[in-house]
Amino acid sequence: MVIGLILASIPVAIAIAASQVGRLTRRFPETTLIRVSFVFYALALLSVPFVSNLWLLLIQTVMFGIGFGICSPIILSLVAARASKEYLATVISVNGAFCNLGRILGPLLMGIAFGIGGISGVFYAGAGIAIATLLIFKYFRSCLYA
């Protein structure tokens, strides 16, 4: 039951955060919010190996959910806004395909991380990917507004 409650906190946090994206984008630039969401991802994943109490994992799962709840709708909105109406469905479909590709490759890559560094290695690798994505996004953010 405890594990179920902890796992359920992720979609609840996603829903609450996503419901506030409109208000957040009126106060902060979208690119800033995306960067903040990846900081949430990284902090959540980096801190998991140090948690000694199962209930304290709620902090990390909520942080991760907040990051996803902020990032996902903003990225989808940016993708849709930059696609011409003629190709909008194709662009959204390709975006979805790449999201699904990530869901396929993620467990494979994390299996390798597990083999190398154990369960802590999985969380460190995930945090490393979040930080790398943050840096890549920062470097290429001009593409969003081209």
Q: Is 62 exposed, middle or buried (0-12, 13-18, 19+ CB in 10 A)?
A: buried
Residue 144 pLDDT grade (very low, low, confident, very high; cuts 50, 70, 90): low
pLDDT digits (tens, 9 = 90+) for 74-105: 999 988 888 888 989 999 999 889 989 989 99
| Segment 5-25 mean pLDDT | 95
| Mean pLDDT for the stretch of residues 112-130 | 94
- The pLDDT assigned to 54 comes to 87
